[in-house]
Structure 1
Amino acid sequence: MSQSPRKAWMESVITSSTELKLSMIRQHAEALIQEANQREMSYEEFLAHLLQKECDARLEASRYNRIRLAKFTHKKYLEDLSVSDLPEDAQKKLKQLKSLDFIREGRNVILSGNPGTGKTHMGLGLGIKACLEGYKVWFTTVPLLINQIKECRAQQTLRAFQNRFEKYDLVIADEMGYISFDKEGSELLFTHLSLRAGRKSTIITTNLSFERWGEIFQDPVMTAAMIDRLTHQSYIVNMNGNSYRMKETKEWLSKQQLG
């Protein structure tokens, strides 16, 4: 017995959507057609509805992929920040940073202050927001970045790494100052951050004031050049204040005791 015309048409829809890689239509065509019939949609409305569903699915998939490829160590969102517990300067500048104008302008952000005050959380939150808004982001720590650069040079893949590194809309380099570098590491870091200067945005989090950066780089000339290059037209946020992380820990311990 030959199949019904409707079934033949549906098979054609599935085949065509598979060929065109329209996964949402392939998976949900039957349900969408039933919905269109129930709502008595015109052909134009149904087609617009169908294509919008596919666009929405692709947009969500691209957001997920950008977040996955950014290599975030944790999923920290700006919405989860207790703004009132942030240092005063961070409270003042957060709204401006949330606009992501600094990425569009190719300007850096330096989050500098004592440990536990929300530097990494802010960096991660801005990075995830950037991913959601279509920017290409990469998260790393400064020690890991230097090690990766050294490995690429040893494997003769440094040029490919540099090409990727300078094309990110936003690089978040966490933990500047927790570990000092040798001369080679300092030079490699300076060279690679300079590739992005004035064109692409970099967020640096550091627990050291600029006066103490010499402890990391151990070369006064390079230290001065690094500070000058990174801070030119940058947003510098003073993150000195009470430990945000310690407050969260105390609240968690209090809940455990009550429980």
Structure 2
Amino acid sequence: MSAATRKEWKEAIIEYSKELKLPAIRKYLEEYVQEACQRDACYEEFLAQLLQKECDARREASRYNRIRLAQFTHKKYLEDLSIKDLPEDAQKKLKILKTLDFLREGRNVILAGSPGTGKTHVAIGLGIKACMEGYKVWFTTVPLLISRIKECRAEQTLRAFQNRFEKYDLVIADEMGYISFDKEGSELLFTHLSLRAGRKSTIITTNLSFERWGEIFQDPVMTAAMIDRLTHQSYIINMNGNSYRMKETKEWLQKQQLA
């Protein structure tokens, strides 16, 4: 085959890849052609490797999009956790949670304990891992969730929001207990979390023990019902312990002094 003919075929492949939206093939075509020629690879191997590159690129793009759409406030990975500094109960149960079996089983996770012990880090870390493995995740704080529900109701888009809310494989509701709610907010939160109960997983982080949840909801009956729904067959992690965040701050200050 002449050089001119080879060039024409490459140009045709580039055009076809644009029309079929195959950017990785367009990007790596020349590299893989040269490599195949050097190794005298068969046509099937060359094509399979090029298509594999396209598939890998698409998977990576899908992971990135799932993480972006999850709206995490920070990128916190499980690999960055200092396991030995987590509360004892978290150390024991993190290995189970990292399998993401709780997602496949539609079970909730409740991380309850004192501030700074790694609740949000663990929750986001599990969320990012879920995104990487193909699950659809949404992160929010509880106060923002209630505000969003109220806005949707005022704009008459509540049904559409509920449909999306139900379909997430995992919802992470951070900071339960930092702000108390009015009766309307409590009822809306209860209704929406109940939509997912027993079918889809929700991770709740809270600085209050269950005995103090009445301070948030200000309704004993609703409080009891909320706890019953959220804790049924759930993983409840005791996050009381020394401040993980304070330890990181002290280590950072020591590094600044040495710099």
Structure-1-length-normalised TM-score: 0.98
Partner of 2:71: 71
Runs of 4+ in 1 over 4 A off after TM superposition: none
CA contact (8 A) 2:108 2:235 kept: yes
Aligned counterparts of 1:38 and 1:194: Cα–Cα separation in 2: 61
In structure 2, runs of 5+ residues without a counterpart are: none
What amino acid maps onto 1:19 in structure 2? E
Moved more, 23-32 or 178-187: 23-32
Equivalent position SS for 1:245? helix
8 Å contact from structure 2 (residues 141, 174) kept in 1: yes
* Residue of structure 2 equivalent to 1:132: 132
Could you tell me which residue of structure 1 aligns to residue 103 of structure 2? Answer: 103
How many residue pairs get aligned? The number is: 257
2:204 maps to a residue whose letter is: I
SS of the residue 1:79 aligns to:
helix
Deviation at 1:176, TM superposition (A): 0.1
Q: Residue 208 in 1 paired to residue 208 in 2?
A: yes
Distance 1:26 1:254 in 2: 49
So what's the TM-score if we normalise by structure 2?
0.98
Q: 1:11-50 to 2 correspondence within 5 Å?
A: 11-50=11-50
State the distance in 2 between where 1:78 and 1:209 align: 24
Aligned counterpart, 1:154: 154
- Give the distance between the partners of 2:236 and 2:132, measured in 1 at CA: 24
> How do 1:105-124 residues align onto structure 2 when only pairs under 5 Å count?
105-124=105-124
User: What letter is aligned with 2:216?
Assistant: I
Deviates more, 1:27-36 or 1:204-213: 27-36
Deviation at 1:237, TM superposition (A): 0.2
| Letter matched to residue 78 of structure 1 | L
| 1:33 aligned partner, one-letter code | V
**How far apart in 2 are the matches of 1:177 and 1:42?**
63
> 1:172 is aligned with what amino acid?
I
Matched-pair identity in %: 84
SS in 2 for 1:205: strand
